């Protein structure tokens, strides 16, 4: 080796310098430019008289060019719709870009908490229902009350369904806006109903099945390997060829069952659980008995956790109907069966749980006004239409629930005939929220979930376990009250 030759030592020195330079460049903050401009936006809205009014509203220009970060979850059609929304917003708001930060849904909260703890929160994010009140209480979320009330569209009286005002307002202020409305309802294989000569469930809550009729239908549709139905001599519960129903044991469907028996999950005034009250106890036991006593539902809770069992079971005829969240329509509509929908069965009255996560602005954002523009876009008609039209969401905006409004998002081929009644009747008139105060997740995971496990497994009855479980869970809720 001599002078002027590029030897191994030179190579190592150059590599180290390049690596160090790259690390330094990656750690530097991006520049921001300041640009002022005025943007005119045309807004179309339908009022109660179904008269289309076009208004031109001058929206205050963003004072600067900004790159917003937006963190959330979603895959397949949901993520495609989010990305399309970002593109549309960026077209309407020159100078502002939105960087989408995707997480797996079960990792989202961990990531968000870590970023908040590190002092580098995203500008906007999905805020899970279970942490909304805690984040609001601790000042993690930006109070958007004034911006919302001053908004020419979102601030209109009756823009949202009443349940939205109830859940988004915490101690008198708005800290986020709910995505949409959710609802648990029937999905069924129409061919099996036709074959059995049974009328399927209706999308109209006025025609909701009562629990006894639902049980009767589920029994008729459940068949063992010998063609016997539950209750008949020789019925073999270990060899069932087709189950009548899969009823989500907890979450949106299970909560809906408690509401359908006029029960409560939690009292918003006291902030304490009321799952030990007779109505809730009875509802939970009825759902458990679908598999334990009546043998019309598969025992395996693992099917639900895996999340893919229901589709396959419906398509292959192993399952006749299921009660699941409305988001399932976004993938169940692709099944090769005549898919139908209907409102979930009532016990005392029709009811559904419409609790949904929120879109929120983190208080640490450097661009609160720009972030508000993004939030109002997400809560606006265009964005909601996109996600409702793919079968993922139900509207929480009244303009999309009028007779003409539903035509903007009902999609033939995705939404079965009559589906608009799920939104305009079922959700509007019978949808209920669950208030989740600070400590709710802990109370549920520590005491309620293990107690419910013993009910679903048939080891104990709901009446035996829910009393002590709720008492212990309420201690956690009391500790978290501040």
Partner 1 sequence: MTNRWIRRLVPSRQTRIGYAFISPFILGFILWLLIPMLVSVWLVTREWDLITPPRFAGLANIQRLARDPMFFQSLKVTAYYACVSVPLSMTIAFLAALLMNSKVPGINVFRTIYYMPSIVPAVAVAVMWSWILNTQFGLLNHFLQSLAGVKIRWLQDPKWAMPALMLMSFWSFGTTMVIYLAGLQGIPNVYYEAAEMDGAGRLSKLRHVTIPLMSPQIFFTLIMGIIGSFQTFTAGYLMTGGGPENATLFYVLYLYRNGFRFFKMGYAATLAWVLFFVILGLTAMVFRGVGRRVYYAAD
Which residues lie near partner 1 (CB under 8 A)?
A: 109-110, 113-114, 116-117, 134-135, 138-140, 238, 298-303, 305-306, 439, 441-442, 445-446, 449-451, 453-454, 456-457, 459
Specify the long-range contacts of residues 76-81, CB closer than 8 Å, at least 24 apart.
76/330, 76/331, 77/330, 77/390, 77/392, 78/330, 78/387, 78/390, 78/392, 81/386, 81/387, 81/390, 81/392
Residue 469 structure tokens? 């479980």
Question: Residue 389, exposed/middle/buried by CB under 10 A (0-12, 13-18, 19+)?
Answer: middle
Residue 248 structure tokens? 């989500």
Residue closer to partner 1 (CB basis): 116 or 153: 116
Residue closer to partner 1 (CB basis): 35 or 301: 301
Residue carrying structure tokens 């008492």:
471
Residue closer to partner 1 (CB basis): 303 or 348: 303
Residue closer to partner 1 (CB basis): 32 or 459: 459
Shortest Å, Cβ 152 to partner 1: 33
Question: Residue 292, exposed/middle/buried by CB under 10 A (0-12, 13-18, 19+)?
Answer: middle
Shortest Å, Cβ 445 to partner 1: 6
Shortest Å, Cβ 236 to partner 1: 12
Residue closer to partner 1 (CB basis): 40 or 305: 305
Q: Any idea what DSSP says for residue 4?
A: T
Shortest Å, Cβ 401 to partner 1: 35
Residue closer to partner 1 (CB basis): 114 or 404: 114
Shortest Å, Cβ 317 to partner 1: 15
427: nearest Cα among 167, 181, 168, 165: 181
Element (H, E) at 58: strand 52-59
Shortest Å, Cβ 83 to partner 1: 26
Return d(Cα 241, Cα 220) in angstroms, integer.
13
- By three-state DSSP, how is residue 111 classified? helix
413: left (phi over 0), alpha (psi -120 to 50) or beta: left
Residue closer to partner 1 (CB basis): 340 or 437: 437
Residue 336 structure tokens? 């090769």
- By three-state DSSP, how is residue 87 classified? helix
Shortest Å, Cβ 301 to partner 1: 6
Identify whether the C-beta of residue 124 lies closer than 8 Å to the C-beta of residue 71: yes
Residue closer to partner 1 (CB basis): 9 or 49: 9
Shortest Å, Cβ 310 to partner 1: 13
Strand-pairing partners, residue 353, are 432
Residue closer to partner 1 (CB basis): 138 or 471: 138
Shortest Å, Cβ 113 to partner 1: 5
Identify whether the C-beta of residue 214 lies closer than 8 Å to the C-beta of residue 343: no
Residue closer to partner 1 (CB basis): 92 or 442: 442
255: nearest Cα among 392, 90, 79, 434: 434
Return d(Cα 177, Cα 414) in angstroms, integer.
26
Identify whether the C-beta of residue 343 lies closer than 8 Å to the C-beta of residue 257: no
Shortest Å, Cβ 469 to partner 1: 11
């Amino acid at each position: 080796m001599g002078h002027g030759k590029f030897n191994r030592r030179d190579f190592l020195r150059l590599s180290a310098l390049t690596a160090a330079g790259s690390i330094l460049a990656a750690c530097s903050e991006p520049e921001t430019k300041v640009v002022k401009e005025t943007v005119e936006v045309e807004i179309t809205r339908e009022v109660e008289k179904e008269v289309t009014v076009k208004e031109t509203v001058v929206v205050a220009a963003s004072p600067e060019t900004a790159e917003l970060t937006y963190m959330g979850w979603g895959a397949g059609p949901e993520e495609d719709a989010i990305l399309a929304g970002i593109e549309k917003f960026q077209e309407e708001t020159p100078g502002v870009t939105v960087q989408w930060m995707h997480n797996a849904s079960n990792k989202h909260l961990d990531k968000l908490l870590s970023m908040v703890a590190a002092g580098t929160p995203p500008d906007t994010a999905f805020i899970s229902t279970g942490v909304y009140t805690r984040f609001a209480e601790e000042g993690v979320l930006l109070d958007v009350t004034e911006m919302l009330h001053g908004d020419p569209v979102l601030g209109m009286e009756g823009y949202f369904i009443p349940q939205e005002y109830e859940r988004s307002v915490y101690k008198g202020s708005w800290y986020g806006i709910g995505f949409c409305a959710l609802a648990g309802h029937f999905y069924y294989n129409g061919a099996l109903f036709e074959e059995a000569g049974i009328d399927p469930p209706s999308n109209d809550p006025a025609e909701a099945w009562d629990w006894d009729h639902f049980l009767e239908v589920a029994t008729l549709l459940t068949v063992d390997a010998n063609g016997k139905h539950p209750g008949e001599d020789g019925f073999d519960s270990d060899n069932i060829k087709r189950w009548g129903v899969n009823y989500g044991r907890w979450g949106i469907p299970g909560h809906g069952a408690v509401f359908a028996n006029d029960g409560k999950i939690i009292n918003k005034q006291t902030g304490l659980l009321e799952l030990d009250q007779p109505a809730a106890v009875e509802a939970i036991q009825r759902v458990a008995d679908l598999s334990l006593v009546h043998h019309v539902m598969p025992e395996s809770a693992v099917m639900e956790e895996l999340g893919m069992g229901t589709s396959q079971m419906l398509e292959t005829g192993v399952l006749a109907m299921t009660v699941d969240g409305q988001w399932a329509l976004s993938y169940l509509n692709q099944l090769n069966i005549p898919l139908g929908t209907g409102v979930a069965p009532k016990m005392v009255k029709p009811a559904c749980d419409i609790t949904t996560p929120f879109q929120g602005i983190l208080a640490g954002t450097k661009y609160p006004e720009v972030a508000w523009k993004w939030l109002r876009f997400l809560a606006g008609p265009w964005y909601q239409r996109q996600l409702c039209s793919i079968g993922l969401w139900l509207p929480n905006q009244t303009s999309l629930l009028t007779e003409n409004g539903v035509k903007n998002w009902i999609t033939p081929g995705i939404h079965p005939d009559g589906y608009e009644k799920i939104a305009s009747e079922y959700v509007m008139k019978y949808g209920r929220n669950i208030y989740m105060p600070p400590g709710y997740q802990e109370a549920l995971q520590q005491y309620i979930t293990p107690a419910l496990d013993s009910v679903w497994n048939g080891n104990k009855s709901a009446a035996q376990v829910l009393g002590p479980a709720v008492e212990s869970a309420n201690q956690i809720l009391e500790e978290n009250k501040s």
